[in-house]
């Protein structure tokens, strides 16, 4: 199932596709509000009613649910069914979706050609390999990392930037706010897949709605 098919399905309007899967966030007044949804999700998952291994982040003011992406395919029928069930249950509990606040951050580490740096960062952060070029926190609490060779510039100098995955309907507003805050568009050759921004002191950030765009 591709992203456009997912978004065209009924009962999934609360969900957005970021770089590491499907995300939905609901605003809550206290821990109990989010805990009710978390408990229902846990019970449904335990009895096999949800097949997509949902991950729940519970805070006082919000509850965020993620359906992790797969290595073999990005979305499947189980993801759709789980997203529909979770959204319906959140609605029954009176929780209000807040997709505009969703972000997923990835640290892109550039390195000189032929230099192996992933093992170092895995040792420092306690990460594990993800594919051929990435690493991740086993508990998915901290940002993922992507390692790539420097194609231009000075050998021996590592350069890094942030990838910020955002909902497609929020990308332009985020870019406008960043520019208004003193940033600039450093590369406009890749929209609508992503925009490369530079901070006032020239640190790079890619605003990337491409997973949600499909």
Mean pLDDT of the chain: 91
When comparing pLDDT for 53 and 170, which is higher?
170
pLDDT category of residue 155 using cuts at 50, 70 and 90: low
User: Does residue 154 sit in helix, strand or coil?
Assistant: coil
Rounded mean pLDDT, 184-199: 93
Tokens 């890619």: give the residue.
Answer: 206
User: Does residue 75 sit in helix, strand or coil?
Assistant: coil
* Percent of the chain's residues with pLDDT above 70: 95
Rounded mean pLDDT, 122-130: 94
CB 28 within 8 A of CB 60: yes
Q: What's the angle, vertex CA 153, arms to CA 175 and CA 204, rounded to 5?
A: 15
Q: What is the 3-state secondary structure (H, E, C) of 97-145?
A: ECHHHCCEEEEEEEECCCCCCHHHHHHHHCCEEECCCEEECCCCCCCEE
What domains does the chain contain, in order, with CATH numbers? 3-101 (3.30.1360.20), 104-213 (3.10.180.10)
Region of poorest pLDDT, from 83-97, 122-136, 141-155: 141-155
Q: What is the pLDDT of residues 43-87, one digit of tens each?
A: 999 998 888 889 999 999 999 999 987 665 578 899 999 999 999
pTM: 0.89
């Amino acid at each position: 199932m591709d992203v456009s098919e997912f978004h065209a399905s009924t009962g999934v309007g609360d969900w957005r596709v970021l770089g590491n899967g499907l995300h939905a966030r609901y605003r809550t007044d206290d821990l109990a509000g989010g805990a009710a949804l978390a408990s229902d999700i846990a019970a449904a998952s335990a009895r096999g009613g949800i097949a997509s291994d949902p991950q729940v982040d519970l805070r006082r003011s919000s509850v965020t649910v993620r359906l992790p992406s797969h290595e073999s395919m990005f979305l499947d029928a189980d993801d759709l069914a789980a997203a529909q069930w979770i959204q319906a249950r959140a609605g029954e509990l009176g929780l209000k979706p807040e997709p505009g606040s969703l972000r997923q951050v990835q640290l892109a580490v550039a390195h000189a050609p032929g230099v192996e740096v992933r093992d170092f960062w895995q040792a420092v952060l306690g990460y594990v390999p993800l594919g051929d070029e990435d690493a991740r926190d086993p508990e998915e609490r901290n940002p993922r990392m992507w390692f790539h060779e420097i194609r231009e510039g000075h050998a021996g100098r590592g350069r890094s930037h942030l990838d910020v995955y955002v909902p497609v309907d929020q990308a332009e507003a985020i870019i406008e706010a960043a520019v208004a805050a003193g940033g600039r568009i450093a590369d406009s050759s890749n929209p609508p897949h992503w925009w490369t921004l530079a901070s006032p002191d020239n640190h790079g950030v890619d605003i990337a709605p491409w997973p949600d765009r499909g």
